[in-house]
């Protein structure tokens, strides 16, 4: 006999989670809204592979022997490193490079899929999460960048978030290139500066200036090394952040499109730089303005739920010329958290009818009822688990069933069925205090002719 100590422990790895029907249903509800809006803008759906060659993702440690810790990787039998995708953009770049001659250009795709980050997990921060991307390959005009922002705005509106609940901020990486040239900031320093700017919402303007120069000590006492710029260089960057007058050809084209949507909360903000190095032009970030409680029970702005920009050089990593490309990502799981905070989210769970098993000798009758219900595209289950009616009804409650059909030999002899509207029954029961009253009202239960079953179910379930 196997020792108890040798038995496997049922334990999920840190940073991962199992999703039950309620979460999956909410994901599907949000994803359906996103997909419908994308299809209105003539996007087509694709699904790239979950696993890519690590070199295709472009993330390696300095020793170059194995992929860095930010991705989950393993070595194939031929010695090549493979990794789980950490976003949906890098796999798209590989897909476009591999299939470019066959694609209808411009190529507009959307995709919803799981991505994986080999990072330290924390509250609300998972190593596996659902992401949505919409991308356009082959259009140079900034009109398409602006259209992505309008499309995402319309997605938020369809989900019940009004213009006062979100803001999309945009900037342009090329105006930063000019600033770097004017201030003689070159090479790796540019990336370090952009990373410091990306922390502005968290550390404030003074904190950014410290990060740009000698460094900063946070409230916990930890010291963050500074970029090492001079005071004058840092001051020029801070002045740049506070100015709203920067422009170039791409920004002018982008604003020309937006002039047709003046009511939309889409505003210029030069501090939007995005953390990823591959952005080459327009960049944008969607922020939810709703307030939520943090771990310290303080009211804070929910923050970013989407972002993207132009990455004209990403596909050319696989050879060939630069290809115009732009896209935006939405963190679906994070968005769901916000929608639940605002009580805006309803699951798209399908109605369920349960047929109570009153007598095994009546199985053929129950099967006939179930088949008829399923033939009308309504989910139906026969309760085979327990013969006790009370326990069957308890199971229906836990299953969140909408209707239970109760019928024994007497009902079938009379060509009747007893159906119980569980939602209505709960509502009626809330105002009933006496057992006699409950018996009299029968809490949402009624008898119907057997041949009127589907009609009655459609009325209860409000199905056209």
Residues belonging to the chain: 464
CA 169 vs. chain centroid, Å, equals: 19
How large is the average pLDDT for residues 134-162?
A: 96
Domains of the chain: 21-50+85-341 (3.30.930.10), 352-460 (3.40.50.800)
Q: pLDDT value at position 352?
A: 92
Asked if pLDDT for residue 68 goes beyond 90, the answer is no
Tokens matching residue 361? 């000798």
3-state secondary structure of 130: strand
Which of 254, 257, 215 minimizes the C-alpha distance to 234?
215
Q: pLDDT value at position 342?
A: 85
Tokens matching residue 23? 């979460």
How large is the average pLDDT for residues 95-106?
A: 92
Residues ≥6 apart with Cβ < 8 Å to 364: none
Identify the band that residue 109 occupies on the pLDDT scale cut at 50, 70 and 90: very high
> pLDDT (tens digit, 9 = 90+) per residue, 30-61?
999 999 999 999 999 999 999 999 888 865 44
Q: Angle of helix 173-182 relative to helix 231-242, nearest 10 degrees?
A: 150
Identify the band that residue 125 occupies on the pLDDT scale cut at 50, 70 and 90: confident
Identify the band that residue 326 occupies on the pLDDT scale cut at 50, 70 and 90: very high
Lowest-confidence segment of 21-30, 140-149, 167-176, 432-441 by average pLDDT: 432-441
pTM: 0.80
């Amino acid at each position: 006999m196997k020792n108890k100590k040798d038995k496997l422990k049922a334990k999920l790895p840190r940073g991962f989670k199992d999703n039950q029907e309620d979460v999956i249903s909410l994901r599907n509800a949000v994803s359906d809204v996103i997909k419908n809006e994308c299809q209105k803008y003539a996007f087509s759906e694709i699904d790239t592979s979950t696993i890519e060659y690590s070199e295709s993702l472009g993330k390696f440690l300095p020793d170059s022997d194995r992929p860095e810790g930010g991705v989950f990787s393993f070595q194939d039998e031929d010695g090549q490193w493979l990794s789980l995708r950490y976003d949906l953009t890098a796999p798209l770049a590989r897909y476009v490079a591999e299939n470019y001659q066959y694609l209808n250009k411009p190529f507009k795709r959307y995709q919803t899929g799981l991505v994986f980050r080999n990072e330290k997990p924390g509250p609300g921060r998972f190593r596996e999460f659902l992401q949505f991307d919409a991308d356009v390959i082959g259009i140079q005009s900034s009109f398409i960048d602006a259209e992505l922002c309008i499309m995402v705005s319309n997605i938020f509106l369809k989900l019940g978030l009004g213009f006062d609940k979100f803001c999309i901020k945009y900037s342009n990486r090329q105006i930063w290139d000019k600033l770097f040239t004017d201030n003689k900031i070159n090479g790796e320093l540019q990336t370090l500066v952009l990373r410091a700017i990306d922390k502005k919402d968290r550390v404030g303007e003074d904190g950014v200036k410290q990060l740009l120069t000698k460094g900063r000590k946070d409230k916990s006492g930890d010291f963050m090394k500074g970029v090492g710029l001079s005071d004058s260089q840092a001051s020029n960057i801070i002045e740049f952040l506070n100015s709203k007058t920067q422009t170039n050809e791409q920004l002018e084209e982008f604003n020309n499109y937006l002039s047709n949507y003046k009511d939309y909360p889409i505003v210029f903000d030069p501090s939007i730089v995005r953390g990823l190095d591959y952005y080459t032009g327009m960049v944008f970030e969607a922020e939810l303005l709703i307030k939520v409680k943090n771990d310290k029970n303080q009211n804070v702005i929910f923050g970013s739920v989407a972002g993207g920009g132009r990455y004209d050089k990403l596909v050319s990593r696989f050879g060939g010329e630069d290809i115009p490309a732009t896209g935006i990502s939405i963190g679906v799981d994070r968005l769901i958290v916000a929608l639940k905070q605002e009580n805006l989210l309803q699951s798209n769970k399908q109605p369920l009818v349960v047929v109570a098993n009153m007598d095994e000798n009546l199985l053929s009758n129950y099967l006939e009822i179930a088949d008829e219900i399923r033939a009308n595209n309504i989910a139906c289950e026969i309760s085979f688990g327990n013969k006790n009616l009370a326990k069957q009804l308890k199971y229906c409650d836990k299953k969140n069933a909408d209707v239970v059909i109760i019928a024994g030999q007497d009902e079938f002899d009379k060509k009747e069925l007893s159906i119980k509207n569980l939602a209505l029954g709960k509502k009626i029961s809330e105002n009933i205090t006496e057992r006699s009253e409950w018996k009299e009202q029968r809490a949402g239960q009624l008898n119907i002719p057997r041949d009127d079953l589907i009609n009655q179910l459609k009325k209860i379930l409000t199905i056209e």
